[in-house]
Amino acid sequence: MAENKFAAYICSGCGIGDVLDVKGLEGTAKKDGKMAEVKSHPFLCNAEGVQLIKDDIANNGVTHVCIAACSRRAKTEAFNFPEVAVSRANLREGVIWVIAEGSDHDEIRQEMAEDYVRMGCAEVKKMALPDGNLKESSSKRILVVGGGISGMTAALAAADAGYEVVIVEKTGELGGFARNLVKRVPFSGPYAEPQATGVEDMAAKIGANSRITVHLNSTLAETAGAPGRFKAKIAQESGAITEELVGAIVQATGFTPYDVNKLTELGGGQDNVVDQAGLEALAKSANGGVIKRADGKEVKSVVFVQCAGQRGSGGNGNGHHLEYCSGHCCATSIKQAMYFKDANPDVDTVVMYSDLRVPGMGEDFYRSAQQKGVIFTKSKVNKVAGGGSCKVDFKDLILDEDTSVDADLVVLATGQVPNAGVNLDKWTEIVTLADGGDAAAKAQTIEMKKGSVLNLEYRQGPDMPQFKYGFADSHFICFPYETRRTGIYAAGPVRRPMDMLQAQEDATGAALKAIQAVENVEKGRAAHPRAGDLSFPKARLEGCTQCKRCTVECPFGAIDEDEKRFPVFNEERCRRCGTCMGACPVRVISFENYSCDTVGSQIKAVNVPDEFEEKPRILLLACENDAYPALDMAGLQRLTYSAYVRAIPVRCLGSVNTIWITDSLNSGYDGVMMMGCKHGDDYQCHFVKGSELAGYRMSKIGDTLKQMGLEEERVITHEVAITDHERVAKLINDYVAQIQEIGLSPMKF
Amino acid sequence: MSDLNTQAVARYKNNFLKEVEERVEDGHWVKMCMQCGVCAGSCPLGPAWQHSPQKIFMMIRAGKREEVLGSDSMWMCTSCYNCIVRCPRKLPITHIMHGLANYAHRLDLAPKGQPTREIARLFWDNLVKTGRVNELKFSLAMYFKDGFAQGIKNAMAMQGIGLGLMKAKRLNPMEIVGGHKCKDIPGIHKMVAKAREIEDRRRGLA
């Protein structure tokens, strides 16, 4: 291997040269940064400047490049040198744009720029060019679990894009829930009439597609491996097992209607009180004619009760059923009311709603039903009595009075319950007990596993993590198609309540994610959000203490354990957030271009002035996803903040190893600020759990600070969103003021 | 109960919405209301009404026939058109209100002595008589609509304005005898009768 040669390039464009002493910076890079080559250029990102760097790489044997110019988020295409390791010192957004103008600030501005150059040089020295995670062979086939509308759409989309698809369907035919519908809500203009479901057409297309293999009457007995090499054991009803090798999985297992019999207060379980699925069955047997009840009587009046057992206490339901709105039921009731009106306009159809929610173009459909004479009554239904003549007691919310109406049939619009398999939180609890030798818990795990959909052979449990209401995982706020199980994507009502049109869109999205996953695996790259990243975690296992923190904390379940409890990395599942690296107490986990050392050396490269100079130094560890862009944005807006901070971008706050904090405080820093994404139920962390774990770790750092004889305020964490550019500047200034009040660190030497 | 009313009750039984759709001008719009309440919030006379348009529409759907037709609400409308402009469902609310008022009046279910209704009736009778509005007779009819003593009081109170109008030649005292009129009064009467016939036929009131 050729010898490493380090070079620094300093840009004096964009006003950098006007306010900074570029010659001085060159000296810093040479003397402190120990760069073999140091060059400056008045316009580094233009063709000439880039050529200068390219020539040095090609002819001068430069292997490591530090570019001191703009933020690492700017000019990424110009400064793209895939054959060498590159670090960026942020002189533009990080220094000249955010430090107050005027000669009063010349000194501290220059000091800041020098520190950033030192840091860039120190970082690049510890970096290596990642070689990617190439495997000899990887499968590009896509497994679709569930053959309903979502599953069939995903399968057809993936097949149309040229990928082989395997469908596993539990029942004897494709079509799922939609197969039992008479008609569906319209998807296109004029949104006035119910349409044919199109299920048969889709099933026929799948049958005729040579790229799609269908396993009917089958379930997944076991799914092992990682993206690009999932081994799925498909069990048929008969017990026969087929093994399929697939690259990615789309879980489109749909929903089950909430058990109507549980809605006793709304007449659930009584005669002539049905749910929407029950009405579809009645309408199907009517076959376009007048709809008759189960007892054969023609329905002359029907009442639809919306939000039955849904939306907690807010809607028509009650708190002990479903908390959420299932989204499709208003439009579905409208459609079903049309079944009656279309067959016989004299049938009394009343829809009792508290808030009619018709997403998409549903408003037009709603209007169409009104034209047909469907009556909509804003009301809260208190009680339904079934029987030969049903009676609905309700409060009219417009006229503010309690009243009742008689009907031949009552339809309860119940909600969607996702078929998401095992709840991993409960699973982990039980498994921990079982591992402790609890025989009952052990039996319970076997029982629980019977309810699993994917039967994953992952240390974290057999299914995808679930949301608050038991829906399968997704990054709900920022990246709805993403999940915490790389290469496995949920689509349709298993992910969130939705109607058929939304499910189809969702399924095409999931199919695309699956395609991305298999393509990335083939090239040895990471998937979202560090798409294309070739680095992956490497562990020096000889130093490992088998503490299991990395395996437990990995948000993506990428790390399994071997028999000796050493971590086993499944790089294909890894998203390169570095949470394992932040977790490791003995610091044996690192990436080629991001490690305890690359950041640690930057921390050490900062010149900490002695206490008599009265210039504090604050370390700012900023998440590269939201906080660091917000800092850049502050620069773009020319907001000023203190020149005493030194910002280092991190992949995720979850990757922050406490050694960085103790090291910086030990070497005389006066404070450490951390900025990461919001965590909690409405998290914005791009790695889902990273910022939460960081918050948890930092809550324990008080003891360490006490041991060091430092105030607790010397380490603070903030939740920052990408739009918070004004706030980050204020947070920094406030913190610097606070540190100056507390006084400088006693650890300076 | 008027004959028309008895006939309507017999014909529509409990389906008041259908009755409104067929017999009230623009009544077919009532079913399109989505109960958002923008009309109720936009009406400048909102607090003075017994029922907002939103409630009127809901009451129609709930079959509250006597309450709707006996309500004074439709008579309170000043035709400011705020509700029409703001209605997200584009319902001609003002027109529906007038249609309902008219229908209630035809069935004689509208509130007795409701001032708007009385003035409208006086105006109509005044106009149809000669084909021209006789302002003096209309004013006097209004003064005396609540009895002779009240009429004298009203006339005394308006004395100054009356004299002023006379001085400015805006009011001719001679109008009290006969007054100006159309050339073909029987023709006007025939025309109005024909219009009513057509209207009644169209709305099933014949």
- Crossing angle between the packed helical segments A596-605 and A658-666, to the nearest 10 degrees: 20
Which residue among A366, A367, A377 places its CB closest to the CB of B61? Answer: A377
List, in order, residues 6 or more apart from A402 with CB less than 8 Å away: A382, A393, A394, A395, A396
SS (H, E, C) A223-272: EECCCCCEEEEEEECCCCEEEEEECEEEECCCEEECCHHHCHHHCCCCCC
| A485 burial level (CB within 10 Å; 0-12, 13-18, 19+) | buried
A404 touches chain B (CB under 8 A): no
The span from the CA of A369 to the CA of B91, in Å, is 16
Residue A490 vs residue A611, higher pLDDT: A490
Residue A321 corresponds to which amino acid? H
pLDDT band at A467 (very low <50, low <70, confident <90, very high): confident
Q: Which of A306, A398, A401, A405 to mutate to test the interface with B (most CBs of B within 10 A)?
A: A398
B204: in domain: no
Residues A420 and A216: their CA atoms lie apart, in Å, by: 19
What pLDDT, in 10s, does the model give residues A508-524? 999 999 999 999 999 99
Return the residue matching tokens 């590009």.
A140
Q: Is residue B127 a part of any domain in this protein?
A: yes
Q: How many whole angstroms separate alpha carbon A216 and alpha carbon A172? A: 5
The string of DSSP codes covering A666-695 is HTT-SEEEEEE---STT---TTSSHHHHHH
Average pLDDT of the segment spanning A478-483 = 86
- Note whether A652 and A744 are within 8 A (CB): no
If one compares B146 and A577, the residue with the highest pLDDT of the two is A577
The domains found in chain A, sorted by start residue, are 1-129 (3.40.50.960), 142-254+464-522 (3.50.50.60), 258-416 (3.50.50.60), 538-590 (3.30.70.20), 608-749 (3.40.50)
pLDDT-based confidence at residue B12 (cuts at 50, 70, 90)? confident
pLDDT of residue B1: 52
Band of residue A33 on the pLDDT scale cut at 50, 70, 90: very high
The reply to whether residue B62 touches residue A376, judged by beta carbons under 8 angstroms, is no
Query: Is B175 a member of any domain?
Result: yes
> Which residues of chain A are within 8 Å of residue B34 when distances are taken between CB atoms?
356, 366, 370, 376
Range of the domain at B107: 3-111
Q: Mean pLDDT, to the nearest integer, of B6-13?
A: 85
Structural domain ending residue among the three candidates B111, B144, B167: B111
Cβ–Cβ < 8 Å for A697, A736: no
pLDDT at A317 > cutoff 60: no
B33 and B15 in a common domain: yes
Q: Across all residues in chain A, what is the average pLDDT?
A: 94
Q: Residues B89, B154: one domain?
A: no
pLDDT tens profile A327-364: 999 999 999 999 999 999 999 999 999 999 999 899 99
pLDDT tens readout for residues A38-82: 999 999 999 999 999 999 999 999 999 999 999 999 999 999 999
Residue of chain B whose alpha carbon sits nearest to that of A400: B55
Q: How confident is the model at residue A313 (pLDDT cuts 50, 70, 90)?
A: low
Give the residue among A290, A315, A310 at the shortest CA–CA distance from A300: A290
- Whether the per-residue pLDDT at A314 is higher than 70: the answer is no
Q: Tell me which of B111, B132, B166 is where a domain ends.
A: B111
Please, what's the largest Cα pairwise distance for chain A? 95
Of the pLDDT bands very low, low, confident and very high (cuts 50, 70, 90), residue A312 is confident
Q: Is residue B128 part of a domain?
A: yes
Do B78 and B66 lie in one domain? The reply is yes
User: Nearest CB to B31: which of A373, A396, A398?
Assistant: A373
Backbone torsions φ then ψ of B28, nearest 5 degrees: -70, -10
* Cβ count within 10 A of residue B117: 18
Do residues B55 and B37 share a domain?
Answer: yes
User: Given this model, what pLDDT does residue A125 score?
Assistant: 95
- Chain A, residues 313-372, CB within 8 A of chain B, namely 356, 366-367, 370-371
Asked whether residue B205 is domain-assigned, the answer is: no
Summarised one tens digit per residue, pLDDT across range B36-55 is: 999 999 999 888 888 999 99
Q: Does the structure show a pLDDT above 50 at B182? A: yes
Same domain, B84 and B119: no
Q: What mean pLDDT do residues A674-687 have?
A: 91
Arithmetic mean of pLDDT, A699-711: 89
Are B102 and B137 in a shared domain?
no
* B102 & B134 share domain: no
Q: Give the chain A residue whose CA is nearest to the CA of B32.
A: A370
- Among A262-276, A305-319, A700-714, whose mean pLDDT is lowest? A305-319
- The closest of B85, B110, B107 to B95, measured between CA atoms, is B85
Tell me the whole-structure pTM to 2 decimals. Answer: 0.88
Q: Which residues of A touch B64 (CB under 8 A)?
A: 399
**B163 domain-assigned:** yes
- The CATH number of residue B20's host domain is 1.10.1060.10
Taking CB atoms and an 8 Å limit, are B62 and A370 in contact across chains? no
Give A637-648 pLDDT, tens digit per residue. Answer: 999 999 999 999
* In a shared domain, residues B129 and B96: no
Q: Using the beta-carbon criterion (under 8 Å), do A399 and B35 form an inter-chain contact?
A: no
Interface residues of chain B, partner chain A, Cβ below 8 Å:
17, 31-32, 34-35, 54-55, 58-59, 61-62, 64, 89
Q: Is pLDDT above 70 for B165?
A: yes
In this predicted structure, which of A24-38, A79-93, A173-187, A703-717 has the lowest mean pLDDT?
Answer: A703-717
Q: Is the domain of B92 the same as that of B66?
A: yes
B17 within a domain of the structure (yes/no): yes
User: Which ipTM did the prediction report?
Assistant: 0.86
In angstroms and rounded to an integer, the radius of gyration of the C-alpha atoms of chain A is 31
Question: Residue A276: what residue type?
Answer: Q
A480 pLDDT tier (thresholds 50, 70, 90):
confident
- Position A316 scores a pLDDT of 54
In a domain, B206, yes or no: no
Per-residue confidence (pLDDT) for residue A1, from 0 to 100: 47
User: Do B84 and B156 lie in a common domain?
Assistant: no
What average pLDDT does this structure show over B139-147?
Answer: 90
B36 with B104, same domain? yes
As for how many domains chain B has, the answer is 2
pLDDT tens digits, one per residue of A625-638: 999 999 999 999 99
pLDDT score at B70? 95
- Where among B89, B111, B133 does a domain terminate? B111
The reply to whether B106 and B119 lie within a common domain is no
- List all residues 6 or more positions away from A182 whose beta carbon is below 8 Å from its beta carbon: A194, A280, A283, A284, A339
